Structure 1
Amino acid sequence: MRQFECGTLVPGCDWHTRAEEDAEIVRRAVEHMRTAHGETVIRENMVDNIKARIRDEAHKAA
């Protein structure tokens, strides 16, 4: 499972998402940028910044 935390890109934002595929995370993150942060144009460098911040989900100790 992969995850993205918006706060790594937009300080103070606690929105996050997780999915199996990076493409789905990027789709959700772009939609979040539009609705929550008022971004009307999503430039390629924004997508690159989102992709660079997608991480493997940390496994919790049992």
Structure 2
Amino acid sequence: MRLFECGSLVPGCEWHTRANDDAEVVRRAVEHMRMAHGEATIRESMVEHIKERIVDEKAADAA
């Protein structure tokens, strides 16, 4: 299971999502950025920042 925690990108945000693959995690994160943080345009650099912060959930639990 793959995990993205928005607070790793937007300090103070407690939203997170899990999915079996990175593409679904990114899709959910982009939707969250639009709805919760008012990002009308999601640039490729933002997608890259999201991808950089996706971790394997087991690795996150061990940390």
TM category, shorter: over 0.9
Structure 1 unpaired stretches of 5+: none
Q: Select the structure that is richer in helix.
A: 2
Matched residue, 1:5: 5
Aligned identity (percent) is 72
Q: Which letter maps to 1:19? A: A
* Matched residue SS, 2:41: coil
Report Cα offsets for 1:12-62 as digits up to 9, x if no partner.
00000000010000000000000000000000000000000000003768x
Q: What TM-score comes out, normalization by structure 2 length?
A: 0.91
Matched residue, 1:26: 26
Alpha carbon RMSD of aligned pairs, Å?
1.5
Structure 2 unpaired stretches of 5+: none
Q: Which 4+ residue blocks in structure 1 deviate beyond 4 angstroms?
A: none
State how far apart, in whole Å, the 2-side matches of 1:15 and 1:58 are: 18
* Matched residue SS, 2:18: strand
